Structure 1
Amino acid sequence: MATTSTQRFGIFAALALVMAATRVHLSLFHHDIWDASWGVFFLAGFWLRGTGRWAFPLLMAEAVLVDYVVITRMGISFWDHYCVSAGYWFLVAAYGALWIGGSWLAKHQRGIKLSTLGMAVAALLVSENACYVISNGSFYWLSAHVPAPKSFAAWFENLGDWYLPFLETTAVYVGLGGVLHVLAVQLARLSQHSGQTQH
């Protein structure tokens, strides 16, 4: 959605800052602030559509780097942490699903309309669910921290335990991003209209 290199860089920097602040805070201060990572990847796909070759890998690298710094500062080896397993690397696909959802919305939306809101809700729900199934499933099936025997029944129960909190958190951040987007579009229109009336 950003049209100039300066806009793209500014949006990327803001999203990267939000993710770093909330991802670090979450790990260090016991969930006082919700992790914005999922929302950041969806919004980045929307606002930075067409920049996936550099923006997505950089955001992904940032997420891993933040996790590494936080875990090692706790005095734990990165590879020994509860959340790090072979399934950890499936976060690339999980976050990619969010990016694709945001990018799809950016391509198909037609401005600030009720139909766009419906499309946004649908895109967010589909990409959130894909992200959740990939991230939760890869951890459950591949992590040694999940005791055997593993079963689909136990996995579905685990899916249900964490499903709503993850979706609600992402929806809050994406909703805030949506409000900022509408305000930015309206301000741009007012500025353009004001410039036209002065000529």
Structure 2
Amino acid sequence: MSVTARRATILALLAALMAATRLHHFAAVPDASWAVFFIGGFYLANWQRWAFPALMLLAVAVDWFVITSQGLSFWQHYCVSPAYWCLVPAYFALWAGGGLLRRHLSASAPVATGQLVLAVVASVIVCQLIAQGSFYWISESVANPTVAGWWKNYSDWLLPYMRVTAMYVGAAAMAHVLLTRVLPRPTAQARPLHAD
């Protein structure tokens, strides 16, 4: 499989996963959006200019579909405020975390595992800081915002988001290890001349 075909397959799988799980944000199968952006940053860094915006547009389109299919106005929904657009830098923090991991990933399995854990934890902390912080301080949903109230809200939601993101990223890491050990690597003659 060519590099382009591999990337296209990964992008399609990530888009399908996000669409399927974001449709039912609080259902039994948790929303994979945060993990999708982290994994996308790892595998699709060379396609960042259009893959990240495409996944962002998909996230907004799914939100619009879910909200309007309930007979509600997208622009007047509880979750859609000026803070909603802070999801762009929040999700980009996850994307950047995946990209940084890819660039600095060690060949040593124990070190790589530590790097993966550190990258996921740091990315989720920053994403939550931007997403939750902007909602708490910018939206009109919080009547009397306080630092103590913000910290309680931040810390209450951080671990659930961390757990869900880690679950999906962990599954992707296991699939990566399995596929790289099962699938044959391209020979030197079959490798593209440009960097992956």
* TM-score greater than 0.5 by the shorter chain: yes
Shift of 1:45: 0.5
Aligned equivalent of 1:107: 103
Runs of 4+ in 1 over 6 A off after TM superposition: none
Shift of 1:190: 7.8
Aligned equivalent of 1:86: 82
2:126 to 124, 127, 130: 130
Aligned equivalent of 1:4: 3
Aligned equivalent of 2:18: 19
Q: TM (normalized to structure 2)? A: 0.91
Structure 1 residues not aligned, in runs of 5+: 193-199
Preserved contact between residue 8 and residue 48 of structure 1 (Cα < 8 Å)? yes
2:47 to 48, 51, 67: 51
Preserved contact between residue 112 and residue 182 of structure 1 (Cα < 8 Å)? no
Aligned equivalent of 2:161: 166
What is the aligned-residue RMSD (CA, Å)?
Answer: 1.6
3-state SS of paired residue (1:51): helix
Task: Give yes or no for the alignment of 1:181 onto 2:176.
Answer: yes
Aligned equivalent of 2:194: none
Percent identity over the alignment is 45
Task: Give yes or no for the alignment of 1:147 onto 2:143.
Answer: yes
Q: How far apart are the structure 2 equivalents of 1:3 and 1:34?
A: 32
Q: How far apart are the structure 2 equivalents of 1:58 and 1:38?
A: 15
Structure 2 residues not aligned, in runs of 5+: 188-196
Preserved contact between residue 18 and residue 36 of structure 1 (Cα < 8 Å)? yes
Q: How far apart are the structure 1 equivalents of 2:64 and 2:136?
A: 21
Write the letter of the residue equivalent to 1:91: L
Q: TM (normalized to structure 1)? A: 0.90
Write the letter of the residue equivalent to 2:55: L
Q: How far apart are the structure 2 equivalents of 1:123 and 1:48?
A: 16
Q: How far apart are the structure 2 equivalents of 1:93 and 1:83?
A: 17
Number of aligned pairs? Answer: 187
Shift of 1:111: 3.5
3-state SS of paired residue (1:33): coil
1:36 to 19, 32, 41: 32
3-state SS of paired residue (2:13): helix
Q: How far apart are the structure 2 equivalents of 1:111 and 1:74?
A: 49
Write the letter of the residue equivalent to 1:77: S
Task: Map Cα deviations across residues 81-130 of structure 1 (whole Å, 9 max, x no partner).
Answer: 11111110000000000000000011111336111111111111111100
